[in-house]
Amino acid sequence: MSEDTSLDQFRTDESAAGGEASERETAATDDQPEATAPDDIEPAATTYAWDGASAACDECDEPVERRWQQDGGLVCVECKDWERA
């Protein structure tokens, strides 16, 4: 087995001395405005849910770990209409 490289081998003198940023790095970040998130972005919608303790399928009521979105509910792989996706 080969020996893995330690993360310490990638440290520079500056990061080894306490991680202080150089004046050039600090000046570059000071000139940039802080990032803001636009208010008009909608959050991503989930298409899949997993429950390790099992949950009932909204179509057949069978307990399953994996369910997919369909018609506003969560259904098992057997009840999911994959052609309609």
Ranges of each domain in the chain: 46-85
pLDDT, tens digit (0-9, with 9 covering 90-100), for 19-67: 555 565 555 556 666 767 678 898 888 899 999 999 999 999 999 999 9
Query: What is the C-alpha to C-alpha distance for residues 40 and 32, in angstroms, rounded to an integer?
Result: 23
Cα angle value 62/67/64 (rounded, 5°): 35
Amino acid 9: pLDDT: 79
Token pair for 43? 């959050």
- Residues 60-85 have a mean pLDDT of 94
Across the beta sheet with 63-70, what order do the strands follow?
48-56, 63-70, 73-75
| Rounded CA Rg of the chain | 25
Task: Name the pTM for this structure.
Answer: 0.50
Amino acid 39: pLDDT? 82
Identify which has the larger pLDDT, 3 or 52.
Answer: 52
